[in-house]
Amino acid sequence: MNRISWHQYFMAQSHLLALRSTCTRLAVGATIVRDKRIIAGGYNGSIAGGDHCIDKGCYVIDNHCVRTIHAEMNAILQCAKFGVPTSGAEIYVTHFPCLQCCKSIIQAGIKAVYYAKDYKNHPYAVELFQQAGVIVEHVPLEQESMDPASRDKKELVDELIKEIASLSSDQEKHQLFKEKAERLFK
């Protein structure tokens, strides 16, 4: 059995945290790591005890939900709340950090940002990370990290789609199944 890499391990953790998100617009997870140990995690959601977007809807001002605390901020604030230093740590995030989170990451002394998906990457955030000497690296989540059997599942689905194609003359239906399978295993 092959072990997953540290990058994939921590990125998988961030994707798991994103499943706790209460934001209906975008689910994001963040994991702060120091010396290969998780020191905090966060997801985007409302203040403790507050109304959540999934219950009350998003509270949008200037095209931004103000009800939500971003995953990166929640993780950084968790460190602050429990007295855990963030200086020299790394953060793994499911999506590229917004400009405000970028500034908070820099101020927290975090030395590296690893993100899985591009999301409105603000040029000024990129510039600020460079100025501060923060390493920024795109680390896409590999499905095998979350599900070791995903490759076998994809092969089985591909075989089934080929079998359907050989048994049916409905090419439109075949193409539809093929597209659905491609989206499923992205």
Active site residues: 72
DSSP 137: E
CA angle 89, 93, 97 (to 5 degrees): 95
Query: Three-state SS for 135?
Result: strand
Between the CA of residue 184 and those of 77, 94, 171, 178, 179, what are the distances in Å?
Answer: 35, 18, 20, 10, 9
Residue 53 · residue 46 · CB < 8 Å: yes
Cβ neighbours of residue 125 closer than 8 Å, sequence gap 6 or more: 96, 97, 98, 99, 102
C-alpha to C-alpha distance for 74 and 90, rounded to whole angstroms:
15
Partners of 95 in the β-ladder: 117
Between the CA of residue 27 and those of 18, 22, 72, 75, 83, what are the distances in Å?
Answer: 5, 7, 12, 15, 27
